[in-house]
Amino acid sequence: MFTAVLTGEIVDLRFVPKAEAQKLYADRRTPWQCRGCGGNAHMRLHRDDEDHIAMLTFAHNPGEAEKCRQLGLHTDESPAHHALKGRLAEAATSRGWRVDLEVPGDRCRADVVAEKNGTRRVMEAQLASLSVQDAVERTERYEESFGQTLWTHTGFRPWSKQVESVRVDDELDRVIGGIYRDQGGNDKLDPLPLKSAVGDILAGKFRYVYFEEAGGTAGYFYPVGAPATRRREPREHQASMRGAHVRECARPISKGIACADCGHYGTAGVPCLNDDCTPPSCPDCGYRPWHRFAKCPSCSISLPRSDRGTL
């Protein structure tokens, strides 16, 4: 963890001068607390291959991590995880987003929460193995607590086409997967610097699409304004696609289908987000569109999924 609580104040080690951080590390009596569970914590020293000080982070005291696990929060993070998380934060900050790290939510703790002009985005660094179900469920919790979520990962991940994600290289410097030149997702974009790629995604310069096709699912980003191409054989889009291009859709959560009202290819179990398809209104106050939230932002009544209007 980069953040912990000291006498009621959140301390982010990324912004503590190195000399001061080393003094804090030397004083083992400092009463640090985990931001998620309130358990006792301490500073942890990470060294590089040459035994130099590479990074200082926080960790739970022995036996204290179980409190976080009971809350559904992940506690074990490698130096590489911290490094990627820090670079995601830098990418957002460089584009004018206000960034907060390791923010507790409802049964989740978001690696990076970025906020700008009233919009919040979550960015997750995921280097360890994760099941498809866990990725989908965690995405739902992040979106209900904070907002739209972008995952970053290394290597092949079975869940990478189920949630918004990009693949980074082993050095954590470049995005090497998850972005294509065309809407059909046929021509992969050349590797991009991580900072610029993530910044452009946050800025809306890339659009995400998700749909079912023969043999599985497809989810990827493409540049706004890219050619409206079809998917090539044998990965041809199923017959529910209308027209000669891939339709943009809602953020994927489960199996995709076409909206019965407008034909927009979206995601089963969530409302159609096509601007041409009128979203449902809050039954209490009439607020629109209310379906992006677990509670109505206007009157704060709870919005059960069954009442939100789904495909």
Q: What is the pLDDT of residue 238?
A: 40
pLDDT tens digits for range 177-199: 999 999 888 899 999 999 999 99
Query: Does position 300 have pLDDT exceeding 80, yes or no?
Result: no
pLDDT tens digits for range 101-152: 999 988 889 999 999 999 999 999 999 888 899 999 999 999 999 999 999 9
Confidence of residue 43 (pLDDT cuts 50, 70, 90): very high
Q: Which residue did the predictor score with more confidence, 76 or 25? A: 25
**Minimum mean pLDDT among 67-76, 109-118, 253-262: which range?**
253-262
Query: Does position 159 have pLDDT exceeding 70, yes or no?
Result: yes
Query: Does position 202 have pLDDT exceeding 90, yes or no?
Result: yes
| CATH architecture of structural domain 83-223 | 3-Layer(aba) Sandwich (3.40)
Query: Does position 307 have pLDDT exceeding 50, yes or no?
Result: no
Query: Does position 245 have pLDDT exceeding 50, yes or no?
Result: no
Q: What is the pLDDT of residue 204?
A: 93
Q: What is the pLDDT of residue 63?
A: 86
Average pLDDT, whole number, for the chain?
Answer: 79
Query: Does position 90 have pLDDT exceeding 90, yes or no?
Result: yes
Q: What is the pLDDT of residue 110?
A: 93
DSSP of the chain: --EEEETTEEEEGGGS-HHHHHHHHH-TT--EE-TTT--EEEEEEEE-TTS-EEEEEEEEPTTTHHHHHHTT------HHHHHHHHHHHHHHHHTT-EEEEEEEETTEEEEEEEEETTEEEEEEEE-S---HHHHHHHHHHHHHHT-EEEEEESS--GGGGTSSEEEE-TTSSEEEESBBSSTTS-SBPPPEEHHHHHHHHHTT-EEEEEEEETTEEEEEEEETT---PPPPTTSPBPTT--SSSPPP-PPP-S---B-TTT--B--TTS----TTSPPP--TTT--SS-TTSSB-TTT--B--GGGS---
Confidence of residue 259 (pLDDT cuts 50, 70, 90): low
Q: What is the pLDDT of residue 201?
A: 96
Q: Where in the chain is the domain with CATH 3.40.1350?
A: 83-223
pTM of the entire predicted model:
0.72
